[in-house]
Amino acid sequence: MSSIYGKIFQISTFGESHGAAVGVVIQGCPAGVNFDLEFIQSELDRRKPGQSRITTQRKEADSVEVVSGVFEGKTTGTPIAMLVWNGDQRSKDYSHIADQFRPSHADYTYFAKYGLRDYRGGGRSSARETVARVAAGALAKLVLNQLGVKITAYVSQVGTLKLETPVEALDLSLTESNAVRCPDPILAEKMFTYIDEIRKEGDSVGGVVSAYITGCPVGLGEPVFDKLHAELGKAMLSINAVKGFEYGSGFAGVALRGSQHNDLFEKRPDGSLKTLTNHSGGIQGGISNGEPIYFRVGFKPVATIMQDQTSLNEKGEQITVSGKGRHDPCVVPRAVPIVEAMAAIVLLDFYLRNRVIQMPA
């Protein structure tokens, strides 16, 4: 079971939902990066459960421990290991589905592929694994911040409630001001109420997380198979519950003509090139062009709902699956830092493919 991502800035995650701990080993991080543990912890706090009544009520401190690769506040260039202990497992909540296949979960596919599965909260297929991604992504952010690259994600849709305001007109500093993480406070309140209603009905709802990246230099990405948008898509589609990815004009671009969609160039006063529009989403030919990169990630409704559903067990017998345990009625508010983390990992990996970073003293 592969759990490795990246070519130079490479991460390997481990752990299960109800195991002892989850963690990550990072290789390829440059030496001399100021290791801000408080920042890394703050990123994990954005992802952790129990933030409001519209998230799972599992209580986890998600306190990160740094095991290796850091000395006197700086990265040493050697493998960095970070660990988060699980504290609030309730494995008994899942004993009733020990031999049952929950609809739209990984239960059946894991069992068919491996011949066994960890049914406690989904085991390795649980979104609990994303703790490790956020820790690694926070470290990548620390490097990118020093390079002037800023990654901001936010909730732009919940169910049919959609944010129509262009990202350039949004005040993204408002994203963290509400539990939904939508930068439009009025729409955020509507989204919160809607998710809460869905929760009370024992159901779930999906949504969209949008990301906006500024300060990215020209030249990140490789021709043909390792295009920047292809790697961003792979990274996002590897996140639990993700069903779709689009960047730039995305699927809406198919309704435009080439004369409307083409991004025309102009020369800046400093001699650099700029595009008058940005339907390309900051990426052309699979390589960043220096314009803001933006993309959207679609998340399905959480598969576990507090309603009875018909299914099958390991013997092929028809059974009724009853939803129990603690689950998010909508995953997108907590997915925001995960999307940012995976974007940071992709960008830093490509940055390191292009050049060796000398961190300031």
Is 301 annotated as contributing to ligand binding? yes
- Is 20 labeled as ligand-binding? no
Residue 113 assigned as binding residue: no
Residue 296 counted as an annotated binding residue: no
Q: Is 92 marked within a binding site?
A: no
What six digits make up the tokens of 125? 């297929």
Would you state the structure tokens that stand for residue 148, as one six-digit string? Answer: 């002037």
Residue 305 to residues 199, 210, 222, 250, 328, Cα–Cα distance (Å): 9, 25, 42, 31, 9
Does the annotation flag 333 for ligand binding?
A: no
Check whether 240 is labelled as a binding-site residue. Answer: yes
DSSP string across 93-156: GGGGGTTEE-TTSSHHHHHHHHS----GGGGGGSGGGHHHHHHHHHHHHHHHHHTT-EEEEEEE
Does the annotation flag 302 for ligand binding?
Answer: yes
User: Does the CA dihedral 216-219-221-225 come out positive or negative?
Assistant: positive
Query: Within its chain, how far is the Cα of 129 from the centroid?
Result: 11
Residues 6+ apart with CB under 8 A from 316: none
326 marked among binding-site residues: yes
Instruction: Give the list of residues 6+ apart from residue 33 with CB closer than 8 angstroms, or none.
Output: 74, 75, 139, 142, 143, 146, 359
Please indicate if the annotation marks 298 as binding a ligand: no
Q: Report CA-CA distances (Å) from 91 to 99, 122, 130, 169.
A: 14, 10, 19, 46
CA distances to 27, 125, 273 from 269, in Å: 40, 51, 9
Rounded Cα–Cα distance for residues 101 and 125 (Å):
13
The annotation places the binding site at: 47, 53, 124-126, 240-241, 285, 300-304, 326
The annotation places the binding site for NADP(+) at: 47, 53
The annotation places the binding site for FMN at: 124-126, 240-241, 285, 300-304, 326
